[in-house]
Amino acid sequence: MSSESIQAMAEGSNDMEGRGTQFQILALIQLIVSMMGFMFGGTVVLGSLAVMMGGLEAGSWLFLTAWFVQSIIILILSYMLLRIGIALLNRDMWAFSAALYLNLLLVLVFLTIGGAGTIFATAAIVPVVVLFLPDVKKYWYPSFYEDTVPRIKELRHALYLIRKSPLVVAGIVILVCFVAIALLAPFITTYGPEQRIWADSNLPPGSPSSVEGMPDHIWGTDDSGGDIYSRLIWAAQVDLRISLSVVIVAVMIGTFIGAVAGYYGGKIDELVMRVTDVFFAFPGLILCMAIVMALGEKSLDTISIALMVVWWPTYARLVRGQVLAEREKLYVEAARSIGASDGRILLFHIIPNTIQPLIVQSTMDVGSVLLTAAGLAFIGFGPPAGAAEWGLMIAIAQLYFSMNQYAIFFPGMAILLTALASNLVGDGLRDILDPKLRRR
Amino acid sequence: MATEELVLKITGLKTNFYTYEGVVLALDGVELFLRRGDTMGLVGETGCGKSVTARSILRLVEPPGKIEEGEIIFFDSDDRSGKITPIDLLQLHPEEMLHVRGKRISIVFQDPATFPNPVFRIGTQIAESVLLHQDLSREVVEMKIGEMRNSLTGDLPEERRSQVVEKIRYYEQQLDEPPEPDDKDKKKAAQIVAEEMLKLVKMPSPSSVMMQYPHELSGGMRQRALIAMALVCNPEILICDEATTALDVTVQAQVLNLLNELKKEIGASIIIITHDMGVVAETCNWVSVMYAGTTVESCATVDLFANPVHPYTAGLLTAVPKLHDTRERFPQIRGTVPNLITPPSGCRFHPRCDYCTEICKKEKPELKEHRPGHWVACHNPLS
Amino acid sequence: MKLRDFILRRLILAIPVVFGVMTMTWFLSYIIGNPVAMYINTNTPASAIPAIRRAHGFDEPLYVQYFLYLSGLFQGDWGISTSTSFRPVTEIILLKFPATIELSMIAMIFAIVLGIPLGILSATHKDQKIDHIMRIFALAGVSMPIFWFALMLKHVLYFQLAIAGLPHLPGGERYTLIRYLSFKYTTGFLLIDSLFFYGDFTLFVDALLHLAMPGFCLGYLTIAIITRMMRSSMLEVLREDYITLARSKGLTERVVIYRHALRNAMIPTVTVIGLAFGSLITGAVLTETIFNWPGLGKWAVRAIFSSDLAAINGFTLLVAFIFVTANLVVDLIYGVLDPRIRFG
Ligand SMILES: Nc1ncnc2c1ncn2[C@@H]1O[C@H](COP(=O)(O)OP(=O)(O)OP(=O)(O)O)[C@@H](O)[C@H]1O
Ligand code: SF4
Ligand SMILES: [Mg+2]
């Protein structure tokens, strides 16, 4: 540790003697966020249990089940944040960086929930903001920075290598474009997602609309007069949201289960491994369909849940293997010998070292999830007909294949490009991050 | 030094590695010469470029590394006529280089754990070189004669026996001008040659080792197998890159003794790369010292131990602990090994040198014959 | 002797997986619908249903039902497929299995024959243009929505060509020749039956043409998987010390790569080939649907739409068994390729 950071710490402890109110406020906010998480998670979990048991009328309550998986993660995170909030009251050094990471994770999970989640996500970002207020920052930031310097250095090297590999850059550019297009959908589309002009059905690209005053159909129309270009862009929102949220949630569940299994070993490990074996032995698509059927409703939300359930074992396996290897290393021993708790060792020492393969795998899985979701929608397990979703658009256009190929071609290209971009990035990153392949 | 005595002469060898941090100037004007029949020690601190030199000789430097310039002259002597042809290995076509590697110059690497291919039997791996480089026609005929002789020792009806004797005579006539053998016979003969080689390197129970996989052998046995692989084609030069460092002390001694004995038998010249001065003293009659990618001193071993002339060598020798040493702290060369991306100007040793003068910082010293038989690269050599 | 122990141990490891899958199908059949449906058809009078419930033990407590379900599975009683004219699931599986396997095998052969050389090519030209092209080609394979690819292939190679009156590939089904109608299946694999049991070359070509499009469509995904794995394991192996040793012997680059590196690099590749079998079957579900291929995948999709529990369970179990078997085979191949784990 450099002399500056020691000095900074000394200053921090001076503050402790004196005022220290800012820390109490931080801790309070943290505790409130954690309580909020508990309330949200608890309501959804209990609510969806009630729906599943048939205790509540289906219908208006059904949204609860859609968030079931996320809520479990939120409950776990809230518990951790509760502990952190208490530790913040004691001004434990580790709690600050922990608060930073975990609040950001919480924000991510809330964002996968959609509209309602955004509000909660905003709330969860408050502690992060407080952490970076100058008064608070000078207490914890210097030592945090010290700790992350080697990682930042590595990151720089990785960024340098990324810049040098054209395929990764291409992938990133495509992904960024797609995300931007999805976000800008309201401004760049000419028609609404489910708007149709029946008189315009099956037009080739570039045709003007038969209705006076309506914009041209740049990429033509589908069988029911929907504008392909606009629907494609609206669908980007839907599809990207599904694949991103499924991957985020699956990564978290998988990491949690895999880390616990790898770290504690023994019976838990054995059990987790056998369960993942069973999941791998199942044909993924069929399992998804079965889960959707079991949930009783064919919609985007149910596909998401099904995909989350199907996807976590991959990450559990991955993280478990990594944790097993890391567990025996010297620095873990060292952390243990100074009395760090298991949770802290896992969270701060082991998991950060398993992050690289996780990044690679999850980047590639954004594509795979998208493909599977589109496949499910194609077979008829997705949203009801009429919704803007790539797989579904192909499924319906297929019926009018011989007269209108554009309605199939464009959505398929969109899926292909997105998935290809995510795979390009993931595959390239593996080359770059894998120490065995890396050029020294 | 008279050229006709030499088998290898390296001048001005430069090898760079193009890495993310910058260009590593790993070798910067290495000068080496190896006399026929000598055993030369190549010593220096870790990272001074000994392995890179060895790989450069065989042109086995892999990307991001690249041999930039220099001359590596190999004086190839024909087995039969003894005629000597100088070849510049760096100018050689890659195809022709394949005939040098493993046949004229071979190398034994440092780590016996990672160098044998794990999925092939030891016998296969040795026989591979034999099949590649040797014309086995004579061996095939000899093998056939041997087989027949063997069958003669058993019970044979008289009629059959005379047939066999007839055949032996027929094959013996072929010995002078053996016909091109077929692949199957060649493979068999190569196996026999390989097994002979294993016997030569004193491998315990060679015939069963032939059929074993590397992971089934101990470190010392694996190292012997690697030596057998290197020697099986009677190379002119054998390079041992820290061939004994990974082994424990007793095995190390055995392997070194083995090398010394084999040298007499095979008549190869040997380069032993090591940082162990003890090994040099015991096995080598010539020694070259490297520092940060340059050759700093080169002379007979006795001469070096008695009168080191380069300040670095002198420091290196006082740092060697001796038996019955009572010193509490070993003297060290002050300072640290330089970074080879931005090496010191002039003499690369100058920041650590006690005898450094102005010229040392500006001008790179050349390797010169300081006194007969003693080369040194220093502006202010000792004594 | 030792090999037997090795196989035995792998088999024992597979047991919990098989049980897990069975348990999961049982569980799913409860939450998806009512498992009694597996034994009822439209002709069953309502009055007979209680008797059927009793006969199949659905009145017993849950754990007894579970054991009855398992023992039923072991005895070959996999229920009745309500969506396929109420025939036993096992019978239909036997009937449709060859079609799917034939398709998957062709896809697999495609993939191995193309994927391995492409992967090597890519690895030996790392970061050169050819590597970039190979990688894009391979990654496009894993990124391809297979149903869309199938539709596009069909559009170009069948519709467009057919409209233009040119020779074209068949657009679906396993055969067109009417002679197949009187065909007596021996193995169920059309390629084998037509060639070896009938000796009829036109039939063989007809079957092969029908396989071409769905086979390539399905194979492309696997090509991609194999190419990528081959590339990265080859890259890893090429950095190993034993490759340097091989080069130092004076072996040509070709021998170094194809003899010394390839065998080592195959070890991880074989694993993904085994795993890829799983994705092939999943891919078959979509491909068969589009090419109207009378195999298990198309059957399974139909079964799901008509909530045909027995068929869904049957398909799932079968795929799981195939997967477990494939893994076992992979382990054995491992033993051949890598002496270090032979008899391990
Ligand atoms: N692949 C590589 N990439 C970058 N630099 C390298 C590479 N290989 C070697 N070098 C550089 O070349 C220099 C010489 O390395 P070399 O392996 O020859 O040392 P050495 O003298 O054999 O050391 P040791 O005694 O440890 O074996 C080192 O300083 C190293 O930085
Ligand atoms: S040249 Fe100068 S700096 Fe270099 S070793 Fe000799 S005296 Fe020292
Ligand atoms: Mg070395």
d(CA A313, CA A275): 8
Does B157 lie in the same domain as B88?
no
Provide the number of structural domains found in chain B. Answer: 2
B18 inside domain? yes
Are residues B172 and B309 both part of a single domain?
no
CA angle at B100 for the pair B297 and B122, rounded to the nearest 5°: 100
Q: How confident is the model at residue A437 (pLDDT cuts 50, 70, 90)?
A: low
Name the token pair of A241. 């949201």
- Residues B317, B380 within the same domain: yes
CA distance A392 to A386: 8
In residues, how long is chain B?
A: 383
B369 and B247 co-located in one domain? yes
Phi/psi at B6 (5° precision): -85, 150
Residues B30, B51: contact at Cβ < 8 Å?
no
The helix (H) or strand (E) run that includes residue A297 is none
Asked if A60 is an interface residue toward chain C (Cβ–Cβ < 8 A), one would say no
pLDDT band of residue C97 (cuts 50, 70, 90) is confident
- Identify whether B115 is part of a domain: no
pLDDT above 90: percentage of residues in chain C? 9
| Domains present along chain A, CATH in parentheses | 3-147 (1.20.1440), 165-438 (1.10.3720.10)
CA–CA dist B227, B96 (Å, integer): 23
CATH number of the domain residue B308 falls in: 3.40.50.300
Instruction: Tell me the average pLDDT across A250-270.
Output: 89
- Nearest chain C residue (CA) to B99: C250
- Touching A: C residues 176-195, CB under 8 Å: none
- Between chains, do A427 and C139 touch, taking CB under 8 Å as contact? yes
Q: Which of B294, B333, B352, B355 to mutate to test the pocket of ligand 2 (most atoms within 8 A of CB)?
A: B355
Second CATH level (architecture) for the domain C90-342? Orthogonal Bundle (1.10)
pLDDT at position A353:
78
pLDDT of the residue at A214: 76
Dist CA A111 CA B94 (whole Å): 59
Domain boundaries, chain C: 2-87, 90-342
Whether residue B154 lies inside any domain: the answer is yes
Picking from C242, C245, C250, the nearest residue to B103 by CB comes out as C250
B116 in a domain, yes or no?
no
Question: Tokens 């407590």 identify what position?
Answer: C61
- Going by the DSSP 8-state scheme, the letter that residue B29 receives in this structure is E
The answer to whether the beta carbons of residues B204 and C331 sit under 8 Å apart is no
B347 pocket-lining for ligand 2 (C-beta < 6 Å): yes
Task: Name which of C247, C264, C248 is nearest C256 in CA terms.
Answer: C247
The confidence score (pLDDT) of residue A18 equals: 46
Task: Write out chain C residues lying below 8 Å of B229, CB-based.
Answer: 245, 249
How many whole angstroms separate alpha carbon C94 and alpha carbon C333?
Answer: 27
Q: Is residue B210 part of a domain?
A: no
Mark out the alpha helices in A214-354 (DSSP H runs): 228-264, 266-281, 284-295, 300-327, 330-337, 342-344
Residue B170 and residue B90 share a domain: no
Top pLDDT among A193 and C297 is at C297
Which among B60, B118, B215 is the nearest to C244, CB-wise? B60
* E strand spans, chain B: 6-18, 23-35, 39-43, 65-77, 84-88, 105-108, 237-241, 269-273, 286-291, 294-300, 368-371, 374-376
pTM for this entry = 0.82
Which residues 60-99 in chain B show a CB within 8 A of chain A?
63-64
> Which residues from B are below 8 Å from C241, CB to CB?
109, 111, 114-115
CA distance B130 to B137: 12
3-state SS, residue B288: strand
How many C-beta atoms lie closer than 10 Å to residue C105's C-beta? 15
Q: Do B293 and B374 have their domain in common?
A: yes
The pair phi, psi for residue C124, each rounded to 5°, is: -75, -15
For residue B326, give both structure tokens: 């009572």
- Chain-centroid distance of CA A348 in Å reads 20
The verdict on B282 and B364 lying in the same domain is yes
Residue of B18, B59, B115, B238 to mutate, testing the C interface (most C Cβ within 10 Å of its Cβ): B115
What is the SS3 assignment for C57? coil
pLDDT for res C1 = 47
Nearest to A242 by CA among A284, A182, A319: A182
Residue C116's pLDDT is: 92
As for the ipTM of the complex, it is 0.85
Distance, CA of C279 to CA of C221 (rounded, Å): 9
Q: What is the pLDDT along chain B (383 residues), one digit of tens a residue?
A: 555 588 899 998 999 998 877 888 989 889 998 988 888 999 988 888 899 999 999 998 888 888 988 899 988 887 777 788 888 888 889 888 888 888 889 998 877 778 888 888 999 999 988 888 888 777 777 887 888 777 777 777 788 888 888 888 888 877 777 777 788 888 888 888 889 888 888 888 888 999 998 888 888 888 888 888 888 888 889 998 887 776 777 777 887 888 878 777 777 889 999 888 888 888 888 999 999 889 999 999 888 888 888 888 888 887 665 555 555 555 566 667 777 888 888 888 888 888 888 888 888 888 888 888 889 988 888 87
Residues spanned by the domain of B174: 137-180
Beta carbons of B370 and B360 less than 8 angstroms apart = no
> Does one domain contain both B147 and B285?
no
- Put the strands of the sheet holding B39-43 in their side by side order: B105-108, B237-241, B269-273, B39-43, B286-291, B294-300, B374-376, B368-371
Residue type, A308: M
| Cβ neighbours for A398, distance < 8 A, ≥ 6 positions apart | A408, C151
Token pair, residue C279, equals: 């994705």
Q: Per residue in A272-301, pLDDT tens?
A: 988 888 888 877 788 888 888 877 778 888
Q: Is 60 exceeded by the pLDDT of residue A26?
A: yes
How confident is the model over A318-343, as a mean pLDDT?
81
Q: What tokens were used for C24?
A: 């999961």
Residues of B in contact with C340 (CB under 8 A): 118, 213, 215
Contact A160 B64 (CB under 8 A): no
Whether B122 maps to a domain, the answer reads no
CB contact under 8 A, A293 and C304: yes
pLDDT value of position A173: 95
Taking 70 as the threshold, does the pLDDT of residue A13 lie above it? no
Distance from CA of C143 to the nearest CA of B (A): 32
Residue identified by tokens 């504008």 is A227
Q: Which of C233, C238, C219, C241 is nearest to C266 (CA)?
A: C233
Crossing angle of helices C201-238 and C262-291, in 10° steps, is 140
Residues B67 and B5 in one domain: yes
Neighbours of chain A (3+ CB pairs under 8 A): B, C
Torsion angle (degrees, nearest 10) of CA B172, B176, B182, B187: 90
Lowest mean pLDDT among A64-78, A388-402, C181-195, C305-319: C181-195
The answer, yes or no, to whether any atom of ligand 1 lies below 6 A from the CB of B46, is: yes
Phi (first) and psi of residue C13, to 5 degrees: -65, -30
The Cα B376–Cα B308 span in angstroms is 9
**Closest residue CA from atom 11 of ligand 1:** B26
Query: Strands B23-35 and B6-18: what pairing?
Result: antiparallel
Residues paired with residue B84 on neighbouring β-strands, in sequence order: B77
Cα B150 to chain center, whole Å?
38
| Burial classification of residue C55, based on how many CB atoms lie within 10 Å of its CB (0-12 exposed, 13-18 middle, 19 or more buried) | exposed
B141 shares its domain with B75: no
**Is residue B186 in some structural domain?**
no
- The alpha carbon dihedral of B216, B220, B221, B223 has a sign of positive
Report how far residue B301's alpha carbon sits from residue A364's, in angstroms, rounded to the nearest whole number: 60
Q: What is the mean pLDDT of residues A212-239?
A: 82
Find the B253 Cα to ligand 3 centroid distance in Å.
20
User: Which residue is associated with the tokens 């066999």?
Assistant: B164
